[in-house]
């Protein structure tokens, strides 16, 4: 996998959806990425997993490492992620709201974008992508 990532042309965008386990990160499969987004939900175990992944990615020398706050239902959820991030010196690259339309997409067995391309989560993911990769 690392050879594939090394060979990928730099002018294109390569998105690696990687194993949930921190072990995979420490084995170096994400080593050749420029950045890592650790997707977290607003509860402690998820945040803690995200923190470990972010720390490993920084150790591996990835340039840009940040959390993505996902399935955020209200201000309290957001505050929980923000507090955790500031405690550990982590950046939040984007906030994706909890969205019934994503559950609907899963139920229907289709892509979130094909189910409802104007849903709040899809809009937020679009903003995240453009913020992280850069506008074109």
Partner 1 sequence: MAVAGKGGSGKTSISGTMARLLARDGRKVLAIDGDSSPNLALTLGIPQDRMSSMPTLPRDLLDRSGGGAVLTKTLEEICASHSVRGPDDVTLLVMAHPQHAGTG
**Residues engaged in binding partner 1 (CB under 8 A):** 1-5, 7-9, 11-20, 24-25, 29-30, 33-41, 45-46, 49-50, 53, 57, 62, 64, 68, 70-71, 96, 102, 105, 109-114, 121-122, 125-126, 128-130, 132-133, 136
Cβ-based nearer residue to partner 1, 85 or 122 = 122
Min. distance of Cβ 91 from partner 1 in angstroms?
14
Nearest-approach distance from CB 50 to partner 1, in angstroms:
7
CB of 80 to partner 1, least distance (A): 15
CA 7, CA 24: separation in Å to the nearest integer? 20
Nearer Cβ to partner 1 (82/116) = 116
Which of 81-90's residues contact partners 24+ apart within 8 Å by CB, and which partners? 81/40, 81/42, 81/47, 84/47, 84/51, 88/51, 88/54, 90/51, 90/54, 90/65, 90/66
Neighbours of 72 (CB within 10 A): 21
Q: Which two tokens stand for residue 102?
A: 């994503």
């Amino acid at each position: 996998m690392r050879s594939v990532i090394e060979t990928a042309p730099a002018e294109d965008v390569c998105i690696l959806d990687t194993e949930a386990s921190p072990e995979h990160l420490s084995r170096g499969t994400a080593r050749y990425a420029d950045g890592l987004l650790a997707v977290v939900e607003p509860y402690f175990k998820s945040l803690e997993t995200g923190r470990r992944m972010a720390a490993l990615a920084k150790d591996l020398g990835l340039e840009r490492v940040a959390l993505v706050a996902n399935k955020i239902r209200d201000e309290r959820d957001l505050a929980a992620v923000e507090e955790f991030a500031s405690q550990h010196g982590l950046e939040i690259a984007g906030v994706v709201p909890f969205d019934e339309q994503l559950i609907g997409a899963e139920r229907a067995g289709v892509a979130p974008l094909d189910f409802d391309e104007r849903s709040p989560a899809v809009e937020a993911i679009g903003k995240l992508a453009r913020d992280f990769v850069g506008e074109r």
